[in-house]
Amino acid sequence: MLEVKKLTVHYGVIQATKEVSFQVKEGEIVSLIGANGAGKSTILKAISGLHRATSGDILYQGKPIQKESTKKIVELGISQVPEGRHVFGGMTVLENLEMGAFLRKDKAEIQKDFKMVFERFPILEERKKQDTATLSGGEQQMVAMGRALMSRPKLLLLDEPSMGLAPIFIKEIFAIIKMINAQGTTVLLIEQNAKVALEIAQQGYVLETGRVVKSGTGKELLASDDVQKAYLGG
Ligand code: ATP
């Protein structure tokens, strides 16, 4: 579904990634793990058209998208849940969710999707009139995910969904990611929390200073000595 080939990205003179290659097959959950500054967010920004690659290819359903606008990329079915939630404070939960559907015109279908989001995140229905800025971190993460789902993505890009959350919320969010995937959405996940990310992933890639240094199934990486030592404290 997604093929990233030799992706190199710069910010001015700073090279953030170097010839990164990986694949996401339809129906999978794929996790990219790595420490601070490894280049994880940069890769997601390049895929969603927020930052242009210096070189390399990003193929989505066989077609290059690295020169497309973010709007076009969303229309093609790729939606990103950005790091740190980035929900719109000062707007209600419902208004935030509406923003996720801003490119869509199919009113009846949009109503169905509100229902779908509230089924997945019942707490959001209870809080739908509340200012999003006053929600807990876990609830804001749910709003960000719900907002992305309102664009009906085929491929969901998740930027550190565990960040800043208590273990109980992490468990809940990851259970929901698994459910979203089981219901047909392909997921590319980037995480510093290697354990939770690899546990739910069919495939994983380890990034260090902008390069892929290891790849394998989620299980293989969890069991690998290098990964254990560097990311799992063991
Ligand atoms: P984190 O988990 O800390 O967000 P990351 O793996 O997502 O880390 P990136 O944010 O992709 O890492 O950053 C990769 C490298 O690019 C880092 O060295 C970072 O300092 C640099 N970088 C990121 N954004 C910019 C920017 N706007 N201008 C200059 N350098 C940047």
**pLDDT reported for residue 85:** 66
The number of the ligand 1 atom at minimal distance from the alpha carbon of 34 is: 6
Mean pLDDT computed over 75-96: 87
In tens, the pLDDT along 132-148 reads 999 988 889 889 989 98
Which of 45, 123, 131 is closest to 83 using CA atoms? 45
Per-residue confidence at 95, pLDDT binned at 50, 70, 90?
A: very high
Q: Ligand 1: which atom is nearest the Cα of residue 15?
A: 16
Binding-site residues, ligand 1, Cβ < 6 A = 11, 14, 16, 34, 36-42, 192
The verdict on ipTM greater than 0.90 is yes
Cα–ligand 1 centroid distance for 37 (angstroms): 5
Pocket perturbation via mutation, ligand 1, pick of 8, 9, 14 by most ligand atoms within 8 A of CB: 14
DSSP, res 134: G
Q: What residue spans define the domains of the chain? A: 87-150
What letter represents residue 210's amino acid?
G
Confidence of residue 33 (pLDDT cuts 50, 70, 90): very high
Report pLDDT for 86. Answer: 81
Residue with the bigger pLDDT between 15 and 104: it is 15
CA angle, corner 114, sides to 112 and 115, nearest 5? 65
pLDDT band at 84 (very low <50, low <70, confident <90, very high): low
Residue ID of nearest Cα to ligand 1 atom 2: 36
Question: Vertex 123, ends 113 and 202: CA angle to 5°?
Answer: 65
Looking at residue 47, its pLDDT comes to 97
pLDDT for residue 54: 96
Compute the distance from residue 71 Cα to the ligand 1 centre, in Å. 23
Average pLDDT for 202-230: 95
pLDDT of residue 163: 87
Closest protein CA for atom 21 of ligand 1: 16
Q: Which of 9, 11, 158 to mutate to test the pocket of ligand 1 (most atoms within 8 A of CB)?
A: 11
Q: Tell me which residue has its CA closest to atom 19 in ligand 1.
A: 37
Measured distance between the N- and C-terminal CA atoms of the chain, rounded to whole angstroms: 34
Which protein residue has the closest C-alpha to ligand 1 atom 3? 36
Confidence check: pLDDT of 5 > 70: yes
**200-205 mean pLDDT:** 97
Give me the chain's average pLDDT, please. Answer: 92
Instruction: Supply the pTM of this predicted model.
Output: 0.91
Instruction: Say if residue 129's pLDDT is above 90.
Output: yes
What are the structure tokens assigned to 142, written together?
């749910």
